Amino acid sequence: MTGNDNPPFAYIKHQMPGRVRVKIPQKKGDFRYFDRIAESFAGCPGITQLQLKPSAASILICHETETDFLNITEFAQTNGLFTIIEQPEEEAFTIPYLPIPLLAASDLNRLDESLMDFSRDRLDGRSLLFLALIGLAVRQMTKGHVLGPASTLLWYAFSVLKAENNKLLDPDTLADLDSE
């Protein structure tokens, strides 16, 4: 690395006493860069262990608890290895607040879209559910359980069908179909 080159930006993914994980997204997959880091940090006082993962653009630095991590970052910057910055917003791990029904609905929508793609727009999730309920009802009827399980399954199947028909007969849905 020449003196004119700017070191890549890095950020602290997580930190505990004596242990820090640093991410360097710009160098993901650059094995030669991570080899150079290993060679350079071999001469850094206070580091007890170094784990490099070029495929994840990650370095795990274990250091003596008496060693301030600031000294290690200064060593890295002085040797042109990386410059520590704040963790980018898009990299910050957050769990969004989504109610369980909304999470389930989004997964079901993805399943529904995949099913539609697979069947070339002939079968969606509701249709599959309707067919499965009818199949289960027929199975219960063949076992002689007509009044209990079979009638309940048929009731559920026709409820699914009714809900789908109500959706299709909705004026907004009909307008959307006409515009296509």
Residue 98 is predicted with a pLDDT of 60
* % of residues, the chain, pLDDT over 70: 78
Q: Is residue 112 part of a domain?
A: yes
Q: Is residue 85 part of a domain?
A: yes
* 135 and 110 housed in the same domain: yes
Which residue among 91, 111, 141 closes a domain? 91
* 149 and 132 housed in the same domain: yes
Count of domains observed in the chain: 2
Task: Read off the pLDDT of each residue in 114-132 and give the average, rounded to a whole number.
Answer: 83
Which residue among 43, 59, 91 closes a domain? 91
Which residue among 91, 108, 141 closes a domain? 91
Task: Read off the pLDDT of each residue in 127-153 and give the average, rounded to a whole number.
Answer: 85
Residue ranges making up the domain that contains 35: 9-91
- Burial label, 63 (beta-carbon count in 10 A; 0-12, 13-18, 19+): buried
Task: Read off the pLDDT of each residue in 106-133 and give the average, rounded to a whole number.
Answer: 81
- Whether the CB-CB separation of 141 and 150 falls below 8 Å is answered with yes
Residue 127 is predicted with a pLDDT of 84
Closest CA to 50 of 20, 10, 78, 26: 20
* 86 and 106 housed in the same domain: no
Q: Is residue 1 part of a domain?
A: no
Give the start-end residues of each E strand in 24-146.
47-53, 58-63, 83-85
| Integer angstrom CA distances of residue 153 from 32, 102, 104, 127 | 63, 26, 22, 14
Which SS3 state, helix, strand or coil, does residue 53 take?
strand
Q: Could you tell me the CATH number of the domain that includes residue 52? A: 3.30.70.100
CA–CA dist 129, 157 (Å, integer): 7
- Binning the chain into helix, strand and coil, the percentages to the nearest 5 are 55, 15, 30
* 85 and 105 housed in the same domain: no
Q: Is residue 58 part of a domain?
A: yes
To the question of pTM greater than 0.85 for the whole model, the response is: no
* 85 and 16 housed in the same domain: yes
